[in-house]
Protein backbone atom coordinates (compact mmCIF):
# COMPACT_ATOMS: atom_id res chain seq x y z
CA UNK A 1 0.00 0.00 0.00
CA UNK A 2 1.13 3.53 -0.74
CA UNK A 3 0.32 5.82 2.16
CA UNK A 4 -0.06 9.52 1.35
CA UNK A 5 -0.46 12.01 4.17
CA UNK A 6 -1.35 15.50 3.01
CA UNK A 7 -3.22 17.24 0.21
CA UNK A 8 -2.49 15.66 -3.17
CA UNK A 9 -3.71 18.84 -4.85
CA UNK A 10 -0.71 20.65 -3.38
CA UNK A 11 1.82 18.08 -4.52
CA UNK A 12 4.74 19.14 -6.70
CA UNK A 13 4.96 18.23 -10.38
CA UNK A 14 7.94 16.00 -9.66
CA UNK A 15 5.98 14.04 -7.05
CA UNK A 16 2.95 13.66 -9.31
CA UNK A 17 5.15 12.45 -12.17
CA UNK A 18 6.23 9.40 -10.19
CA UNK A 19 2.97 9.01 -8.29
CA UNK A 20 1.01 8.61 -11.51
CA UNK A 21 3.32 5.82 -12.68
CA UNK A 22 2.14 3.57 -9.85
CA UNK A 23 -0.54 1.21 -11.09
CA UNK A 24 -2.85 -1.18 -9.27
CA UNK A 25 -1.65 -0.11 -5.82
CA UNK A 26 -3.77 0.71 -2.83
CA UNK A 27 -3.48 4.39 -2.06
CA UNK A 28 -4.42 5.48 1.43
CA UNK A 29 -5.02 9.12 2.31
CA UNK A 30 -6.70 8.81 5.70
CA UNK A 31 -4.56 8.32 8.80
CA UNK A 32 -7.29 6.28 10.49
CA UNK A 33 -7.25 3.67 7.71
CA UNK A 34 -3.57 2.77 7.66
CA UNK A 35 -3.36 0.48 10.69
CA UNK A 36 -4.21 -2.70 8.82
CA UNK A 37 -1.74 -1.87 6.05
CA UNK A 38 1.07 -1.26 8.55
CA UNK A 39 0.37 -4.38 10.57
CA UNK A 40 0.10 -6.65 7.52
CA UNK A 41 3.29 -5.40 5.86
CA UNK A 42 6.65 -7.18 6.22
CA UNK A 43 8.57 -4.12 5.06
CA UNK A 44 7.96 -0.40 5.52
CA UNK A 45 9.75 2.16 3.34
CA UNK A 46 9.88 5.54 5.02
CA UNK A 47 9.98 8.61 2.80
CA UNK A 48 7.61 10.98 4.60
CA UNK A 49 9.95 13.97 4.60
CA UNK A 50 12.83 15.02 2.43
CA UNK A 51 16.03 16.54 3.77
CA UNK A 52 14.52 19.97 4.37
CA UNK A 53 12.75 19.32 7.67
CA UNK A 54 13.23 22.36 9.94
CA UNK A 55 10.23 22.30 12.30
CA UNK A 56 8.72 19.87 14.79
CA UNK A 57 6.66 16.98 13.48
CA UNK A 58 3.01 17.35 14.44
CA UNK A 59 -0.57 16.31 13.74
CA UNK A 60 -1.09 13.38 11.35
CA UNK A 61 2.62 13.11 10.62
CA UNK A 62 3.42 12.51 14.27
CA UNK A 63 0.65 9.94 14.55
CA UNK A 64 1.90 8.13 11.44
CA UNK A 65 5.48 7.99 12.74
CA UNK A 66 4.29 6.56 16.05
CA UNK A 67 2.30 3.91 14.19
CA UNK A 68 5.33 3.04 12.04
CA UNK A 69 7.53 2.63 15.11
CA UNK A 70 4.95 0.34 16.72
CA UNK A 71 4.70 -1.87 13.65
CA UNK A 72 6.69 -5.13 13.62
CA UNK A 73 7.81 -4.78 10.00
CA UNK A 74 11.40 -4.11 8.91
CA UNK A 75 11.75 -0.36 8.47
CA UNK A 76 13.86 1.18 5.71
CA UNK A 77 14.34 4.96 5.58
CA UNK A 78 15.46 6.99 2.58
CA UNK A 79 18.29 9.46 3.29
CA UNK A 80 17.25 10.06 6.91
CA UNK A 81 14.60 8.57 9.17
CA UNK A 82 11.64 10.93 8.93
CA UNK A 83 11.59 13.34 11.85
CA UNK A 84 15.38 13.71 12.10
CA UNK A 85 16.76 17.19 11.46
CA UNK A 86 19.10 16.86 8.45
CA UNK A 87 21.62 19.34 9.85
CA UNK A 88 21.73 18.55 13.57
CA UNK A 89 20.50 14.95 13.78
CA UNK A 90 18.02 15.99 16.48
CA UNK A 91 14.57 14.37 16.71
CA UNK A 92 11.99 16.98 15.76
CA UNK A 93 9.46 15.79 18.37
CA UNK A 94 8.98 12.39 16.67
CA UNK A 95 11.14 10.28 14.34
CA UNK A 96 11.10 6.89 12.67
CA UNK A 97 13.41 4.30 14.25
CA UNK A 98 14.70 2.58 11.13
CA UNK A 99 16.38 -0.78 10.81
CA UNK A 100 18.15 0.38 7.65
CA UNK A 101 18.82 3.77 6.08
CA UNK A 102 19.85 4.19 2.45
CA UNK A 103 21.58 7.55 1.93
CA UNK A 104 21.20 8.86 -1.61
CA UNK A 105 24.23 10.40 -3.32
CA UNK A 106 26.15 11.91 -0.41
CA UNK A 107 25.96 11.68 3.35
CA UNK A 108 24.08 14.40 5.18
CA UNK A 109 25.52 15.91 8.34
CA UNK A 110 22.45 14.82 10.29
CA UNK A 111 23.19 11.17 9.50
CA UNK A 112 25.98 11.15 12.10
CA UNK A 113 24.92 13.53 14.87
CA UNK A 114 22.97 13.35 18.12
CA UNK A 115 19.69 11.38 18.00
CA UNK A 116 20.25 10.17 14.43
CA UNK A 117 22.75 7.57 15.59
CA UNK A 118 19.97 5.81 17.50
CA UNK A 119 17.51 5.99 14.60
CA UNK A 120 19.36 5.20 11.36
CA UNK A 121 20.01 1.52 12.07
CA UNK A 122 22.41 0.04 9.50
CA UNK A 123 23.37 2.84 7.11
CA UNK A 124 24.74 2.60 3.57
CA UNK A 125 25.49 5.10 0.83
CA UNK A 126 23.50 4.55 -2.39
CA UNK A 127 24.81 5.40 -5.83
CA UNK A 128 21.77 6.00 -8.05
CA UNK A 129 23.64 7.70 -10.88
CA UNK A 130 23.36 11.30 -9.69
CA UNK A 131 25.75 13.85 -11.14
CA UNK A 132 28.89 14.14 -9.04
CA UNK A 133 28.60 16.96 -6.53
CA UNK A 134 30.75 18.40 -3.79
CA UNK A 135 30.44 17.01 -0.28
CA UNK A 136 32.85 17.38 2.64
CA UNK A 137 31.07 14.75 4.74
CA UNK A 138 32.59 11.28 4.79
CA UNK A 139 32.00 8.20 6.89
CA UNK A 140 35.05 6.34 8.15
CA UNK A 141 34.67 2.99 9.86
CA UNK A 142 37.50 2.61 12.37
CA UNK A 143 37.55 -1.12 11.62
CA UNK A 144 38.52 -0.38 8.02
CA UNK A 145 41.32 2.13 8.54
CA UNK A 146 44.71 2.02 10.21
CA UNK A 147 46.04 5.45 11.21
CA UNK A 148 49.11 4.09 12.94
CA UNK A 149 52.43 5.39 11.74
CA UNK A 150 54.64 2.75 10.17
CA UNK A 151 57.75 2.25 12.29
CA UNK A 152 61.24 1.55 10.99
CA UNK A 153 63.55 -0.91 12.74
CA UNK A 154 66.29 1.57 13.59
CA UNK A 155 64.17 3.77 15.84
CA UNK A 156 62.97 4.12 19.40
CA UNK A 157 60.01 5.64 21.23
CA UNK A 158 61.20 9.27 21.05
CA UNK A 159 61.38 8.96 17.27
CA UNK A 160 57.59 8.94 17.21
CA UNK A 161 56.86 11.86 19.50
CA UNK A 162 56.96 12.66 23.20
CA UNK A 163 53.48 13.87 24.13
CA UNK A 164 52.15 15.35 27.37
CA UNK A 165 48.49 15.35 28.44
CA UNK A 166 47.67 17.84 31.18
CA UNK A 167 44.43 17.13 32.98
CA UNK A 168 42.75 16.78 36.32
CA UNK A 169 43.27 14.09 38.94
CA UNK A 170 39.64 14.61 39.94
CA UNK A 171 38.47 13.38 36.52
CA UNK A 172 41.36 11.20 35.36
CA UNK A 173 39.44 9.10 32.86
CA UNK A 174 39.22 11.83 30.21
CA UNK A 175 42.91 12.64 30.13
CA UNK A 176 43.89 8.96 30.29
CA UNK A 177 41.70 8.15 27.28
CA UNK A 178 43.36 10.99 25.36
CA UNK A 179 46.80 9.60 26.15
CA UNK A 180 46.01 6.00 25.23
CA UNK A 181 44.38 7.18 21.98
CA UNK A 182 47.64 8.92 21.06
CA UNK A 183 49.63 5.75 21.69
CA UNK A 184 47.24 3.66 19.62
CA UNK A 185 47.53 6.11 16.73
CA UNK A 186 51.32 5.82 16.70
CA UNK A 187 52.80 8.22 19.27
CA UNK A 188 55.99 7.01 20.92
CA UNK A 189 55.51 8.24 24.47
CA UNK A 190 52.49 9.60 26.35
CA UNK A 191 52.66 11.21 29.79
CA UNK A 192 49.64 12.26 31.83
CA UNK A 193 50.32 15.29 34.02
CA UNK A 194 47.87 16.16 36.80
CA UNK A 195 47.78 18.61 39.70
CA UNK A 196 47.65 15.74 42.22
CA UNK A 197 48.23 11.99 42.30
CA UNK A 198 45.93 10.38 39.76
CA UNK A 199 44.56 6.90 39.20
CA UNK A 200 46.82 5.01 36.81
CA UNK A 201 44.49 3.39 34.27
CA UNK A 202 46.99 2.20 31.67
CA UNK A 203 50.45 0.68 32.21
CA UNK A 204 51.53 2.01 28.81
CA UNK A 205 51.01 5.60 29.97
CA UNK A 206 53.35 7.51 32.29
CA UNK A 207 51.57 9.30 35.14
CA UNK A 208 53.30 12.23 36.86
CA UNK A 209 52.53 15.38 38.81
CA UNK A 210 52.35 18.62 36.87
CA UNK A 211 54.31 20.54 39.52
CA UNK A 212 57.68 21.84 38.28
CA UNK A 213 57.35 20.14 34.91
CA UNK A 214 58.84 21.98 31.93
CA UNK A 215 56.32 21.55 29.15
CA UNK A 216 58.88 22.68 26.57
CA UNK A 217 60.46 19.24 26.89
CA UNK A 218 57.48 17.72 25.07
CA UNK A 219 56.80 17.76 21.34
CA UNK A 220 53.08 18.26 21.83
CA UNK A 221 50.99 19.21 24.88
CA UNK A 222 47.27 18.47 25.12
CA UNK A 223 45.46 20.46 27.81
CA UNK A 224 41.87 20.37 28.97
CA UNK A 225 40.20 16.93 29.14
CA UNK A 226 38.55 16.45 32.53
CA UNK A 227 39.33 19.95 33.82
CA UNK A 228 36.36 21.83 35.26
CA UNK A 229 38.22 24.64 37.06
CA UNK A 230 41.22 26.59 35.77
CA UNK A 231 43.29 26.34 38.94
CA UNK A 232 46.45 28.25 39.80
CA UNK A 233 48.75 25.36 38.89
CA UNK A 234 47.40 25.42 35.35
CA UNK A 235 47.79 29.21 35.11
CA UNK A 236 51.42 28.87 36.09
CA UNK A 237 52.13 26.63 33.11
CA UNK A 238 49.77 27.92 30.43
CA UNK A 239 49.42 31.66 31.07
CA UNK A 240 53.13 32.41 30.91
| The model's pTM | 0.60
Give the end-to-end CA distance of the chain in Å, rounded to a whole number.
69
**pLDDT value of residue 180:** 94
User: What φ, ψ does residue 149 adopt, rounded to 5°?
Assistant: -80, 130
- pLDDT tens, 130-171? 656 666 666 666 666 676 677 888 888 888 999 999 988 888
**pLDDT value of residue 26:** 63
- pLDDT tens, 203-221? 999 999 988 788 899 999 9
Confidence bin at 90 (pLDDT 50/70/90): very high
CA distance 115 to 24: 38
CA distance 189 to 136: 33
Greater confidence, 84 or 18? 84
Q: Going by C-beta distance under 8 Å and a sequence separation of 6 or more, which residues neighbour residue 51?
A: 79, 80, 86, 108, 110
Amino acid sequence: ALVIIGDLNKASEAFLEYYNRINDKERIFNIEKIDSALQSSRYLIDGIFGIGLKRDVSDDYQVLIEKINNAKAVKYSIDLPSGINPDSGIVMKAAVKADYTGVVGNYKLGNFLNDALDHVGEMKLLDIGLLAGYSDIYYMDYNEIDIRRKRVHNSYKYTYGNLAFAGSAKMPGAISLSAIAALKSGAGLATVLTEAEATKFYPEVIYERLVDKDLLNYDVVCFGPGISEYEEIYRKHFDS
